Amino acid sequence: MNPVKQALSAFKNNWKESLWLGAAATIYTYFAQLLPMIGALFISLGLLIFQEIVNKWMKTGRWSMDLTHLKNHWVAFVLISIVLMPTGILLGSAFGLLESPQSEWQNIPLSFALFILGIYFYFILAHAFSFSIETTKSVAKAIDSTAIVSMKRYKIYLPTAFFMSLIFMLAGFLRGLGLVIALPLLFFSSAVIYQDVRSLLKN
């Protein structure tokens, strides 16, 4: 649960910036999903951009929208965004189940399972993107390395995915308004985990 605690602490200590980030990510996600055919890709691209903003803040202690360095890594950016698309669809399906008119007791367990899977895979792919940028490794090798590390450090990845799933379910019950808080917490917790496993990835 430590990454979640650290994420909550980061949110609390930077609540204004966190709320702005959450509002921007929520609005972006809402409009991106309205795009026919390519909405899932744009959501993936946006998630990686917002994640990179948080990663830079965790490294430097300063909020910065300067992401010009991504131009040098656009291939990894696009490829991992494409691989991330099914994860976005999983999360979207989980939210859809919560809003379904069917019995909530039938939907909640499946929705919760989809959230856990989606968030777990999000962590792996977000970390693969960061690892690929830092080491210039190929996307395939970066994903392979982060997947292996996530299995070795499942005691960090799984509990964090579990607690973040609870937060996302609460956000779903709030008709999406809770995403303003849930999304920054997702970005913060991902950045915290990456800092923890970074040395393992480079070995």
Give per-residue pLDDT as tens, 23-61: 999 999 999 988 877 999 999 999 999 999 999 998 888
What pLDDT does 144 receive?
Answer: 95
Alpha carbon 27 to its chain's center: 16
How many secondary structure helices (H) and strands (E) does the chain include? 8, 0
**Could you tell me the pTM of the whole model?**
0.94
What pLDDT does 104 receive?
Answer: 64
Q: How many domains, in total, are found in the chain?
A: 1
Which residues of the chain fall below pLDDT 70? Answer: 1, 101-104
Structural domain harbouring 186? 2-202
What pLDDT does 68 receive?
Answer: 85
What pLDDT does 1 receive?
Answer: 55
Burial tier of 70 (Cβ tally within 10 Å: 0-12, 13-18, 19+):
middle
Distances (CA, A) of 115 to 13, 31, 40, 94, 132: 27, 21, 16, 6, 25
